Chains A and B, each alone.
Chain A
């Protein structure tokens, strides 16, 4: 479901232009409001929807599964760390979802890379990346597989 902008709600602040990873949110040359220049290229990450301080961006479902008349509205409350979605179907039914957008206060879990010791030659020549193997638990029993954990893929459920 690509995004679109309500031009009457947008105030042209540029947050969506700044955050869009596809670089398809831009400012209209006539009205100085944001718009999605290429919905076909939208990744549907909804970064712009969540970042918009005026709640001016919505998502529009493709006509095959979300016929005209539906709406998808989102409210991101940064200080509360939550995001709420309200889906209104064409027949009037509503579905509401509430989820966390962060589990720690904003900015408190940024890795302080500048404080790490400089990598020596052995580390530079190694195939491991920064924070490996501990962050992928590879130093804790090697490769973690479904089999090692005693799990199985259920046919018809997972594939």
Chain B
């Protein structure tokens, strides 16, 4: 099962041209959904207005070398390793889902366009990666859905209660789950089950890529820009209008009113709220 290309076996009943057309349609739906989402939420307009405001408040100019260095930091920290999450479990789960999704989608596209029929031999690494990607999605996704999701962990709601905001994660999870089950039933030669799970797999992926406007899918495209802007505000001194960071070794801060209470306290006071997970509902 892990080494066989499920799409080339499917070509016996569905033409590769139809599969390729479906992939192109999903791509167009993602592009269209993202543009509609941007227009509807006015996120791009807000982003540029906010950037302009921050620029007006800037205390120092940010040169192109610094901006290039910030771009590299954003790539390494926010984009590749999801460093913006303060919750380590959420970060790991997000990374599993993100890389699982990228591997799953990339291998799907390569197999459907490059090796659509059994006549062209599929390198076994491709179906293996496809299954690993789907498994990573399932591990990260179900961990998030059942334990980490804020509704369950902080609101105290049961895991089976969902709402519109869950459209993205539900369609993502069902796509990966039904994809795996479809491949499994196909490898066992269970024709009826295989057709059923193929239909569920296609319905889920259509909901995932077609529901961009109503889901959080589009956040993937805004995230790097928002992270870049956040780091620029730190570099130019505007710091999103936040107060200056305290320096308890500096007499200017140390001798301020009421700060004398901390005169004999250690410089590192340890963790307060962050000592515990936010699940005291």
Hey, which bits of chain A sit against chain B, CB under 8 A? 8-9, 11-15, 17-19, 26-32, 50-51, 53-55, 71, 73-75, 77-82, 84-86, 88, 96, 98-108
Are the C-beta atoms of B274 and A78 separated by less than 8 Å? yes
Task: Kindly provide the distance from the CB of A15 to the nearest chain B CB, expressed in whole angstroms.
Answer: 5
Chain B interface (Cβ < 8 Å from any Cβ of A): 43, 46-47, 50, 84-87, 90, 150-151, 153-155, 163-166, 216, 226, 240-246, 248, 253, 256, 258-259, 261-262, 265-275, 278-281
Interface of A is mostly: loop
Chain A residues closer than 8 Å to B46, beta-carbon distance? 8
Q: Which of A17, A84, A102 has a CB less than 8 Å from the CB of B154?
A: A17
Q: Which residues on A sit within 8 Å (CB–CB) of B265? A: 81, 100, 103-105
Q: Is A55 in contact with B240, judged by CB distance below 8 angstroms?
A: yes
* 8 other A-B residue contacts (CB within 8 Å) besides A11-B86, A51-B273, A73-B241: A13-B90, A13-B154, A17-B150, A26-B155, A28-B165, A29-B163, A73-B243, A84-B243
Q: Considering the chains assembled together, what is the distance between the CA atoms of A12 and B50 in angstroms?
A: 21
* Residue contact A80 to B246, C-beta cutoff 8 Å: yes
Known contacts: A8-B46, A77-B245. The answer to whether A18 contacts B281 by CB under 8 A is yes
Residues of A within 8 A of B240 (CB): 9, 55, 73
- A–B Cβ pairs within 8 angstroms, 19 of them: A8-B50, A13-B278, A14-B154, A27-B150, A27-B155, A30-B163, A55-B240, A71-B241, A75-B243, A78-B269, A80-B267, A81-B269, A84-B244, A85-B243, A96-B244, A98-B246, A100-B265, A105-B266, A106-B269
Interface pair A8/B226, CB less than 8 Å apart: yes
Chain A residue numbers with a CB within 8 Å of B248 are 80, 82
The residue in chain A whose Cβ has the minimal distance to the Cβ of B240 is A55
Chain A residues with CB below 8 A from B281, complex form: 18
